[in-house]
Amino acid sequence: MSASVPGTARDTLHEIALLISAHGLGGQPAPDLVYALQLSAEIAGELPLSVADVASGVLLVEQPRATGAPDAITARRKTCVEIRALIGPTTPGVPARLAAVYRAVERQLFGTTIAREAAIAATAGREASEIEALIDGTFTRGTLTYRRDRGDWLLQLASITAVIDGPRPPTNGDGWTLVDQLLPIVRPLLASMLTGPQFQISIVDPDGVDIVGERPPGGLTLAFLSSLNGELRKSVPKSGPPMSALML
């Protein structure tokens, strides 16, 4: 296990896992949850996350969405209430950080044949989408991230997670070329599953290095795909030609 740095997912999630190990939930030990937190801590690593961020995030997750939810989801919402009680009072946190950690966990474990890890991935994806929906309302944010160990891209947008075959990220950071290569592959999929009129997908190279030689936590964003009322637009961060528009 890598050294913990305060304010990171690794440090925070291990801290909460220790709390649960020591006190249990509902008077009972929770070994599966402790395992999930420990695994998530190592996957999310240096992503920013504080105890307050977790408390604010699970506060959103614990809210019932509809009647007749499966028992497992109802139980999970109750667990979120218990986690907040264990954490105790905090200053307001940033729930989007917990959603980003969940997405990193889902991305790493999605497609695994290990049932325990597949369940963690599914829970992480669902809870991330719930937090994102409450934060952004009708505007949906997603990512299309290259998974180097698998040689594919993973699209995470609202409640949709899909594997996409596409080109490797360019070594020169050319986001315009990359988005042009990915567009014909992604556009039909987006047209069939849009969850709302407005969204933005960040195209991310997890091992990319920025112009000053730094590797940002979570990866380097090379380009964006955005939609406003059915019009799909592509752009690149920082500098470049004006944004160009394409129709779905």
Residue 191's alpha-carbon distances to 188, 203, 231, 244, in angstroms, are: 5, 18, 10, 18
Closest by Cα among 110, 93, 209, 101 to 155: 110
Residue 51 makes CB contacts below 8 A (sequence gap 6+) with 12, 15, 16, 87, 90, 93
Q: In 10 A of CB 71, how many CB atoms?
A: 7
Residue 88 zone, left/alpha/beta (φ > 0; ψ -120 to 50; rest):
left
Residue 160's pLDDT is what? Answer: 87
Q: Rounded distance, CA 73 to CA 89, Å?
A: 25
Residue 17's pLDDT is what? Answer: 95
pLDDT tens, residue order, the chain (248 aa): 455 677 999 999 999 999 999 988 877 778 899 999 999 999 999 999 999 999 999 999 998 877 777 888 888 899 899 999 999 999 999 999 999 999 999 999 999 999 999 999 999 999 999 999 898 877 888 999 999 989 999 999 988 899 999 999 988 878 899 999 999 998 888 876 655 668 899 999 988 877 777 778 778 899 999 887 777 888 888 644 334 444 33
Residue 83's pLDDT is what? Answer: 92
Q: In 10 A of CB 247, how many CB atoms?
A: 7
Residue 206's pLDDT is what? Answer: 87
Angle at 165 between CA 113 and CA 206, to 5 degrees: 80
Residue 72 makes CB contacts below 8 A (sequence gap 6+) with none
